[in-house]
Amino acid sequence: LSVETPLGETFITSTVYKSCLIQVGTITLPVDLISLKILAFDVILGIDWLTTHHAKIDCFRKVVSFHIPKQPIVRIQATKLLKSITVISSHKAIRLLK
C-alpha cells in the first residue's frame, strides 16, 4: 500500500489494522488503521472516516461534533495543545513481549 501525504511524501506499508475501535468523547467508533512511520501524529482520521461518522468541523471554534443518527450529538473541543499520548496496538505489544 502506498500513501502520499499532502506534502508529497510517499510512505509504503503493508500493515493495516482492520476493525479497530477508537473512543471519541462518549462514543466508540470503528476505524481501520494504516501503520505509517510518521512520528508527528498518533492517528490521522481522514475525510472519508469523518464523513462516514457524520462529523462536522468548526475550525474557528476548534470543535468537531459527531451527529450520528439516533444518538446524542458528541462535541470535542480543543482547549489547548495536548501532549501526545503513546498508544500501541495489542498486536505490537504481544510482538514486543516475545
The domain tally of the chain equals: 1
**Cβ-proximal residues to 22 (8 Å cutoff; 6+ apart), any chain:** 28, 29, 30, 31, 43, 45
Residue 58 placed within a domain: yes
Mean pLDDT score across all residues of the chain = 82
Beta strands in 1-98 (DSSP E): 2-4, 10-12, 16-24, 27-34, 55-58, 63-66, 74-77
Using one digit for the tens of pLDDT, what is the confidence trace for 21-68? Answer: 999 889 999 999 988 887 777 888 889 999 999 999 999 998 999 999
Considering the entire predicted model, what is its pTM?
Answer: 0.67
| Residue 51 located in a structural domain | yes
Task: Decide if 10 is inside a domain.
Answer: yes
Domain that holds residue 60: 2-80
Q: Is the pLDDT of residue 95 over 90?
A: no
Establish if 92 belongs to a structural domain: no
Distance CA 74, CA 66 (A): 5
- 90 part of a folded domain: no
Asked whether residue 12 is assigned to any structural domain, the reply reads yes
Give the 3-state secondary structure of residue 51: helix
Residue of 42, 33, 46 lying closest to 5 (CA atoms): 46
Look at residue 87 in the predicted model and tell me its pLDDT: 52
Residues linked to residue 55 through DSSP beta bridges, in sequence order: 66
